Amino acid sequence: MNSKLGYADAIVGLQWGDEGKAKIVDLLSQNYDYTIRVQGGANAGHTVVHKEKKFIFHLIPSSVLNEKSVSIIGNGVVFDPKVFLEELDSLRNFDKNIDKRIVISDKATLVLPIHKKIDAIRDEILKIGTTKRGIGPAYESKVARVAIKLFDLVADDWLKKLKLLIQYYGYDPDGKEFNENKNFILKYKPYILPFIDDSERMVIKALSEGKKILCEGAQGAALDIDFGTYPYVTSSNTIVSSIFSGGGIPLRSLRNVFGLFKIYCTRVGNGPFPTEISDELANKIRDDGREYGSTTGRPRRIGWLDLPMLKYYARLTGTSHLILTKADIFSNFPEFKVCVAYQNNSTLDVIEEYPPASIHLHTPVYKVFKGFTSFDSVEFKHFISFIEEYLNLPVYMVSTGPEKDEYLILKPDIYQN
Ligand code: IMP
Ligand code: MG
């Protein structure tokens, strides 16, 4: 037996997504043989700046530009072939060997035009503010066992299944809807077949050979279907657990979890956001931080950093290493606020806990921090120590700007590869 087993590390957002995961994945992926997406779909928008060119990835892992690592789209992903091929086209212009480094799980679920249509119709009523990428309905089809999996395309065994799916959503199984979706599959199928493989076997084999895998989380822990502010959540588990069920990574192979958080919070779409602000300062943060959705272009809602929330999701995700991002956006602010507790609106009790299920019954309690002029300053160091003490976790890294080389490693000893 090989005594040198490989392992997996995970990168997870601890807020409502858009914590700047892509840059960190791109940066850290140098240390890994594989990078894998395990949940979500084209609702994600991961921005990477590479050789002064900006790339936005929706489905392909953000590590794909790294020539040393293989990028896997795992079985837990809901896969839109149109978005994938558009993304691939833009990458091929940049690197003609890119195809060889991408694998899609044969157990990933196909997202079809019908899913997007249902997503739009439902959101008119539900008002969740989804990305309209068909994510919720695609996961629903999967759980209802009427979805088309990529292995159905490989086996060319999907026509009957498509009829069933169309019927499931209340449309005529021989009508317009069927034809539209059938043509969609016929159009894209030939181009995606070469990428399809049983990726969980690759993963298991790689681990047995001592290889290293980086798992790229999409969305954020606070959008988790179970632990987020339901129903204002996405339709997958975003709290790292999907690496097991959506990637085929054995539980005991997980080593480090990098939990990312911005120096403020943002949220796109509807739902509770206790520390939200909507004044001039919010506009300044939105503009300075370029806080516009990379998938939908929507302006992101802005609010103060929420430490009870961060602590809750750091614990749930098993975060071992914190990474602070967008720290540069607050440099030269005279002061800024951080939520450090919640007050119960009726009992007036103050708790240092985040209560997602009854968050509407609570009001944030703030602490004001002095601004910092440099990342060397006493003020910045004080802020970092406060967070470390509050969460009882180390801040490993700070991202100080959008470029790849704009970051600081605060504790080099706690992560070696
Ligand atoms: P869905 O995932 O498209 O169903 O959208 C559900 C909620 O999650 C909405 O509030 C979306 O704005 C939000 N959401 C989905 N994906 C992302 C993401 O990658 N970043 C930030 N918010 C997201
Ligand atoms: Mg994003």
Q: Is 20 in the pocket of ligand 1 (CB under 6 A)?
A: no
pLDDT of residue 221: 98
| Residue ranges making up the domain that contains 402 | 257-416
Question: Is residue 129 lining ligand 1, measured as CB closer than 6 Å?
Answer: yes
Q: For ligand 1, atom 16, which residue shows the shortest CA distance?
A: 43
Residues 132 and 40 in one domain: no
99 and 221: one domain? yes
Measure the CA–CA gap between 67 and 302, rounded to whole angstroms.
Answer: 36
User: How far is residue 321's CA from residue 324's CA, in Å, rounded to a whole number?
Assistant: 10
The pLDDT value recorded for residue 199 is 97
Is residue 275 domain-shared with residue 380, that is, in the same domain? yes
Spatial CB neighbours of 231, under 8 Å, sequence gap ≥ 6: 126, 128
- Asked if 351 and 384 sit in the same domain, the reply is yes
Whole-number pLDDT of residue 49: 83
- Is 34 within 8 Å of 206 (Cβ atoms)? yes
DSSP state of 149: B
Q: For residue 246, tell me if it sits in a domain.
A: yes
CA of 264 to the centre of ligand 2 (A): 15
Count of domains in the chain?
3
Confirm whether 392 is domain-assigned: yes
* Contact call for residues 58 and 216 (beta carbons, < 8 A): no
The strand ranges marked E within 308-347 are 321-325, 335-344
Q: How far is CA 208 from CA 69, 116, 248, 303, in A?
A: 17, 39, 13, 44
With tokens 């690496």, the residue in question is: 243
128 Cβ below 6 A of ligand 1: yes
Spatial CA neighbour of 211 closest among 219, 200, 202: 202
> Is 400:332 a contact under the CB 8 Å cutoff?
no
CATH number of the domain bearing residue 365: 3.90.170.10
| Ramachandran bin of 290, using left for φ above 0, alpha for ψ from -120 to 50, beta for the remaining angles | left
Given 255, 274, 296, the domain boundary residue is: 255
Are 169 and 224 in the same domain?
A: no
- With respect to residue 2, please indicate whether it lies within any of the assigned structural domains: no
Q: Which of 92, 94, 133 is nearest to 116 (CA)?
A: 133
Same domain, 91 and 201: yes
Same domain, 380 and 334: yes
Report the run of H or E that residue 368 belongs to, with start and end: strand 362-370
Q: How many Cβ atoms from other residues are within 10 Å of residue 54's Cβ?
A: 10
Domain membership flag for residue 171: yes
Nearest to 240 by CA among 4, 39, 379: 39
Cα 121 to the chain's mean position, in Å?
25
- CA 219 to centroid of ligand 1, rounded, Å: 7
What residue's CA is closest to ligand 1, atom 11? 130
User: Taking each helix axis from N to C terminus, what angle separates 176-192 and 81-92, rounded to the nearest 10 degrees?
Assistant: 30
* Nearby residues of 14 by Cβ (< 8 Å), 6 or more positions away: 220, 221, 222, 259, 260, 261, 309, 310, 313, 314, 317, 319
Ligand 1 center to 178 CA (angstroms): 28
* Residue 272 sits in the same domain as residue 391: yes
Q: Same structural domain for residues 311 and 361?
A: yes
Which residues of the chain are under the pLDDT cut of 70? 1-3
Q: Do both 58 and 133 map to the same domain?
A: no
The one-letter amino acid at 122: R
How far is the centre of ligand 1, averaged over its atoms, from the C-alpha of 237 (Å)?
12
Q: Is residue 31 located within the same domain as residue 63?
A: yes
Q: In this structure, is residue 233 part of a structural domain?
A: yes
List, in sequence order, every residue forming a beta bridge with 10; answer none if it has no partner.
215, 257
Ligand nearest to the CA of 218: 1
Give the CATH number of the domain where residue 161 resides.
Answer: 1.10.300.10
Number of helical (H) and strand (E) elements in the chain, helices listed first = 12, 20
Does the beta carbon of 45 sit less than 6 angstroms from any atom of ligand 1? yes
Kindly state whether residue 409 falls inside one of the protein's structural domains: yes
Determine the pLDDT at residue 281: 96
Tell me if 1 is assigned to some domain.
no
CB 76 near ligand 1, within 6 Å: no
Q: Decide which of 207, 236, 255 is a domain's last residue.
A: 255
Task: State the CATH number of the domain containing residue 28.
Answer: 3.40.440.10
Residue 58 placed within a domain: yes
67: left (phi over 0), alpha (psi -120 to 50) or beta: alpha
Q: Are residues 399 and 266 in the same domain?
A: yes
pLDDT of residue 416: 83
Positions marked catalytic: 18, 46
